[in-house]
Structure 1
């Protein structure tokens, strides 16, 4: 007896036909077509501002298209809001987090899942089980405002994994994950795809796109510029599809030795009053003029606390002021503005809300930290100078925006990051402290930021970069170290450091002798 062949549903999970969306001064999406099959991991590539996030928000019901149609599992739909999208089985992890900071992890997840899923208390065991199974440990009772950026990203991902999803949209999901965490996430995504879940994956890390995704659609200036199979392309070929010209996007910068110690941290210990936070333990750190020091580490190991103490957002008693010094001057007791007067510039990890005020224009955001640069005279804001500075930042750092009066919230992540970094660099700081400088930005924007950091280094500035992107740290840092549980590893010349060395430091293995051979990572 011959058994009939199983019926295979070849209907695309999602189809978009000629989707267009216009904002004032910007055509974000221009007649975009896209099709995703069940069980397919589909990459969406493009520069910052190419229209990727807008398209994802249209699928998820956050934004409504001006024209075009969406077909979900063979049926035309008009996505009114995210609740409808979730009801159909669509989950999304946003690049900028959509969490209520004053609520707990469990309360945030309960809100997204609806009353039928149970109370936050009832969801706690499942949250622990799902987060541990996928290697993204979370404590359901913790308040979101006490979480690091990496931990908040875990909440976003776990919140989607707990839903019965048929399409998972991921907008830069690995931006704040270590390589090991990203690998664990990929195991999860491949398992979901094998079970029939479709995945739409946005990432500027081309290596992970090549390793994970079955196919890719490339956007450029709001239009579909092409399609490819990532596994069959090199990083350089993918970059060229995205930006049109890949020259000088991936550069090996020469390593240098700094001169005089400008930032000196000695025996810095600090007790974090937050029971879920990380306390610092005896940190020693020196950054010299004319060098870049890179600090690696898994999120939640003291990075936020160290940044707060360096920037002045957290201060030590006057008696301990010498624990941190700028050019031999004790500063640990000083406020942020006083430290800026001594030559500090600061790029925080959270660009929207911490690095910039979303509702303010780019010009007003330039004024926020650069007001000491002749932008205020006798108590009056010099509007012409403020606008000139904002326009200079936009021009010199290639920020894509209609003009300097555009609200910060309307920029793509990469363009806002270029603006914030440009605002700090143009103040010609003697010390720049930058957290995750290229988090979630495309290869073109990352290259622009790296070149700017190298140019600042060559001008004689001392630069401290805290990042979870190890490729970036090896590329631009002259010396490297890592944080683990509030402790700092020894710093070592990048040319003498291997990826396995940094991995050991990130796990707290500080006492293992490091191999002094040329790095191969």
Structure 2
């Protein structure tokens, strides 16, 4: 007597979802078996996030059916999904910033899981076991992006998980952290948990996933076994045209020093933050300097001090200079007027206002580019500027009046980066420039950065993606515990070297005769 085939854990049949002017999902079929790690691939805007939200009950489909363990059902909301054993880690975090880690996790798990205080030992135990240590009493607003990602992942791992949906889970993890996460995922799969894995890091997909479904333009364009494909073959399935996806860029030596950070000591009064110690850094015109580091080692603090969101007292203004002009005490707009452009780590809410149109978001940082006249906005020029960004950087959007939140992550990142590049900065500081974007968008962003470098700009890139840093950086270093390693030529450096620097294994930079003092107590990072 032959045994019947196993019933899939989840089946999607003919899922369709339409938004005004956009068919996000077009009759999508998908099946996931118990214990299977299944990849969902596609470029930004292909419909992946919409499909995940339908599975998790955030969004309702216009047509089609969801079958769970062989039984059709309507996924009413995320609470129902969690009751069934479905957990999801969103690319854009769903955390309350004014609550603690434990309070956020308690809210997600419900009152039956216990109070935040009761959950604290378990949070510590689970986060330590999976290599993502968290302090349960920390307020979320004090966490770095990488640490917030850990909260999302640990929150799901504390549930009785049957299907775990991960949307770009390693985008802010180091290779070592990613390896630890993969070991956890393989263990979960061996125990019968199904995993739906979304990632633009194709090497990870090939190493981890047993099967993959590829979306293009809202439709299923193919299926494959990732281990049987090369990265380039997977990229072709996702974007069709693979031109420029495997670009390598020549390494160059910079010219005159644009940015100089001289013995910067900054005391962070936030007990959970990171202080910066004797930090010295030079970025020259016509070069890209990359800084690596595990999240929470001073990247956010350095970015805030460079952008002007945190200022030093007037007596410390020479700690940071642009073209030999002290700027450490200047506000952000004054730094921009001297040629600084800035791409923050967080796209929505920091790089762009979600509910504002793209044209208004363009005005927010480019208002000094002839877009104002005697305090009045030149609307036609603002619109033309936004439309030029959209055209030049191939931003997929209906028009410049679309709200920022309507764009996929990669398209919004291209818009933000384009907005800064089109201001022709002398110095560009970019944080995680390709975090969570597809291979096509990442390649376009890299080409734009190289073109800006070759035009003579100085570029500082802070990223946790070592592959990216080695691809585009001319010199590279790492932050560890608020201390910066000496910079080295990327061509003569290995990922293993940078990994050691990220762990703090480097000789300190040579001391300077003049020692800086900490910033005023008013300089507190939010």
Alignment TM-score > 0.5, same fold: yes
| CA distance in structure 1 between the partners assigned to 2:18 and 2:502 by the alignment | 45
The corresponding residue for 1:352 is 348
The answer to whether residue 404 in structure 2 is matched with residue 408 in structure 1 is: yes
Q: What does 1:17-96 correspond to in 2, within 5 Å?
A: 17-96=13-92
Q: Which runs of 4+ in 1 moved over 3 A?
A: none
Contact kept in structure 2, 1:315 and 1:334, CA below 8 Å: yes
What are the superposed Cα offsets for residues 233-291 of structure 1, whole Å, 9 maximum, x if unpaired? 00000000000011211211000000000000010010001000000000000000000
1:469 aligns with one of 465, 473, 485: 465
The corresponding residue for 2:487 is 491
The corresponding residue for 2:304 is 308
The answer to whether residue 160 in structure 2 is matched with residue 164 in structure 1 is: yes
Deviates more, 1:386-395 or 1:292-301: 386-395
The answer to whether residue 362 in structure 2 is matched with residue 361 in structure 1 is: no
The corresponding residue for 2:276 is 280
The corresponding residue for 2:336 is 340
| CA distance in structure 2 between the partners assigned to 1:9 and 1:212 by the alignment | 24
The corresponding residue for 1:519 is none
The answer to whether residue 223 in structure 2 is matched with residue 224 in structure 1 is: no
The corresponding residue for 1:182 is 178
What's the TM-score, normalizing by structure 2? 0.96
Gaps of 5+ in 1: 514-521
| CA distance in structure 2 between the partners assigned to 1:398 and 1:169 by the alignment | 29
Distance 1:239 1:333, change over 3 A: same
The corresponding residue for 1:418 is 414
The corresponding residue for 1:442 is 438
2:501 aligns with one of 502, 505, 516: 505
1:98 aligns with one of 94, 97, 107: 94
Contact kept in structure 1, 2:291 and 2:462, CA below 8 Å: yes
Contact kept in structure 2, 1:483 and 1:489, CA below 8 Å: yes
Contact kept in structure 2, 1:36 and 1:42, CA below 8 Å: yes
| CA distance in structure 2 between the partners assigned to 1:249 and 1:436 by the alignment | 19
Contact kept in structure 2, 1:344 and 1:431, CA below 8 Å: yes
The corresponding residue for 2:264 is 268
Contact kept in structure 1, 2:7 and 2:69, CA below 8 Å: yes
Contact kept in structure 2, 1:296 and 1:466, CA below 8 Å: yes
| CA distance in structure 2 between the partners assigned to 1:143 and 1:23 by the alignment | 36
What are the superposed Cα offsets for residues 353-383 of structure 1, whole Å, 9 maximum, x if unpaired? 1000001011110010001101111111111
| CA distance in structure 2 between the partners assigned to 1:240 and 1:454 by the alignment | 23
What are the superposed Cα offsets for residues 12-63 of structure 1, whole Å, 9 maximum, x if unpaired? 0000011011111111101100000000000000000000000000000111
1:234 aligns with one of 222, 227, 230: 230
What are the superposed Cα offsets for residues 89-127 of structure 1, whole Å, 9 maximum, x if unpaired? 100000000000000000000000000000000000000
| CA distance in structure 1 between the partners assigned to 2:348 and 2:246 by the alignment | 27
Contact kept in structure 2, 1:367 and 1:386, CA below 8 Å: yes
Report the 3-state secondary structure (helix = DSSP H, G, I; strand = E; otherwise coil) of the residue aligned with 1:110.
helix
Report the 3-state secondary structure (helix = DSSP H, G, I; strand = E; otherwise coil) of the residue aligned with 2:176.
helix
What's the TM-score, normalizing by structure 1? 0.97
The corresponding residue for 2:187 is 191
Contact kept in structure 2, 1:102 and 1:145, CA below 8 Å: yes
Contact kept in structure 1, 2:254 and 2:284, CA below 8 Å: yes
| CA distance in structure 1 between the partners assigned to 2:495 and 2:114 by the alignment | 44
2:456 aligns with one of 439, 456, 460: 460
| CA distance in structure 2 between the partners assigned to 1:511 and 1:397 by the alignment | 41
| CA distance in structure 2 between the partners assigned to 1:304 and 1:450 by the alignment | 22
Contact kept in structure 2, 1:387 and 1:404, CA below 8 Å: yes
Q: What does 1:382-393 correspond to in 2, within 5 Å?
A: 382-393=378-389
Contact kept in structure 2, 1:481 and 1:502, CA below 8 Å: yes
Report the 3-state secondary structure (helix = DSSP H, G, I; strand = E; otherwise coil) of the residue aligned with 1:256.
coil
Contact kept in structure 2, 1:358 and 1:409, CA below 8 Å: yes
Tell me how far 1:511 sits from its aligned partner.
Answer: 2.2
Tell me how far 1:410 sits from its aligned partner.
Answer: 1.1
Report the 3-state secondary structure (helix = DSSP H, G, I; strand = E; otherwise coil) of the residue aligned with 1:19.
strand
The corresponding residue for 1:516 is none
| CA distance in structure 1 between the partners assigned to 2:215 and 2:466 by the alignment | 27
Contact kept in structure 2, 1:26 and 1:402, CA below 8 Å: no
The answer to whether residue 474 in structure 2 is matched with residue 478 in structure 1 is: yes
Report the 3-state secondary structure (helix = DSSP H, G, I; strand = E; otherwise coil) of the residue aligned with 1:61.
coil
| CA distance in structure 1 between the partners assigned to 2:418 and 2:347 by the alignment | 13
